[in-house]
Amino acid sequence: MRTHEDQWLEEIYRNTLPRVAGMIYRVGGHLEMAKDIFQDAVIIYLEKQQQNKLPAGVPAEAYITGIARILAVRKLKQSGQHIPLDGMEGDIGVPADYYAPPPVAKPVLEYVKAAGKRCLQLLHAFYYDHLSIPEIAAGFNFKTEHSASVQKYKCLEKVREQIKQSDYAETVS
Amino acid sequence: MRKQLAEAQEIEQYLLREMPVSSRLVFQARMLVAPALREKVKYQRKTMQLVRWLAREEKRNELDQLFLRLMQDTAFNNSITSIFK
């Protein structure tokens, strides 16, 4: 079943991707670049929405196009090209860690993903989706909010130790 | 909550800047004299960064799937590809 977010996303693709693609084309970019930049802008928009950090009165289309413009500027700067920014971008922030490399080495990443899938889902719900403990308790079928909270910290500890052990193993090998 | 979990909770409050300034300063002082605590903070920060990084990767994959599905629609496909011709 399609969720409200699925429908919203489809509309955003239909209404806003052509606009972003036109902007990317004008600065010499290609379709793949337009798609990647647009999608990153959508993800940043959704993150800001979850954190209640969107400026009031700015339509989603305008905000996403604004972020896409900033991302395009950054990408072109890296490749030595330059496009000017216009007024609105000052109100729009790209998270500082957005293009950060993975915080752990690839083998560690694979190990943690395989060993702690449910824990990662739980931590995702809390730290990325910013769900409350009552929402997590309901969504993950915990009997009480207390057990959801305890499980979250157990998971945090478990993944933390997995990263630490893998990091040590990698340093030694 | 057992002691270790209470510590994970305290580190979380520190990393999410949910601690009052006075407690934050005490916590930072404790880290200075306790390498084990410092190490736990380091790996818990990495854990939270990893969760965010994986969540973004997952979202990118979902959006790639949506893009591929929409590109099956001729009208949508033309509205995008015609820009680059």
What is the percent of chain B where pLDDT is above 90? 92
Q: pLDDT at residue A163 above 80?
A: yes
Q: Are residues A11 and A83 in the same domain?
A: yes
pLDDT score at A112 = 80
Tens digits of per-residue pLDDT, A35-92?
A: 999 999 999 999 999 988 898 888 999 999 999 999 998 888 776 665 555 544 555 6
Asked whether A43 and B68 are in contact (CB, 8 A), the reply is no
Cα B13 to Cα B20: distance, rounded to the nearest angstrom:
9
Which residues in chain A are contacts of B47 at CB distance < 8 A?
A: 123, 156, 159-160, 163
Residue A101: inside a domain, yes or no?
Answer: no
Cα A66 to Cα A146: distance, rounded to the nearest angstrom:
42
B63 and A127: CB-CB below 8 Å? Answer: no
Q: Are residues A63 and A24 in the same domain?
A: yes
Instruction: Fill in the DSSP letter of residue A144.
Output: S
Say which residues have a Cβ less than 8 Å from residue A35's Cβ, sequence separation at least 6: A17, B67
Q: Are residues A123 and A166 in the same domain?
A: yes
Alpha-carbon separation of residue A122 from A62, A94, A98, A141, B48 (angstroms): 33, 25, 21, 11, 12
Cα A8 to Cα A6: distance, rounded to the nearest angstrom:
5
What is the percent of chain A where pLDDT is above 90? 53
A123 and B51: CB-CB below 8 Å? Answer: yes
Q: Are residues A78 and A122 in the same domain?
A: no
pLDDT confidence band for B80 (50 / 70 / 90): very high
Asked whether B66 and A13 are in contact (CB, 8 A), the reply is yes
pTM equals: 0.85
A25 and B84: CB-CB below 8 Å? Answer: yes
As a whole number, the mean pLDDT across chain B is: 94
Q: Are residues A118 and A57 in the same domain?
A: no
Domain of residue A22 covers 4-91
The dihedral of CA B56, B18, A141, A52: what is its sign?
Answer: negative
Tens digits of per-residue pLDDT, A79-90?
A: 666 555 554 455
Which residues in chain A are contacts of B84 at CB distance < 8 A?
A: 21, 25, 30-31, 34
Q: Are residues A58 and A84 in the same domain?
A: yes
Asked whether B17 and A126 are in contact (CB, 8 A), the reply is no
Q: Are residues A149 and A81 in the same domain?
A: no
Q: pLDDT at residue A114 above 90?
A: no
pLDDT score at A1 = 62
Residue with the larger pLDDT of the pair B33 and A116: B33
> Which of A27, A62, A91 delimits the end of a domain?
A91
pLDDT confidence band for B64 (50 / 70 / 90): very high
Domain tally, chain A = 2
pLDDT score at B10 = 95
Of B18, B9, B84, whose CA–CA distance to B41 is shortest? B9
Tens digits of per-residue pLDDT, B2-42?
A: 787 889 999 999 999 999 999 999 999 999 999 999 999 99
Q: Are residues A80 and A120 in the same domain?
A: no
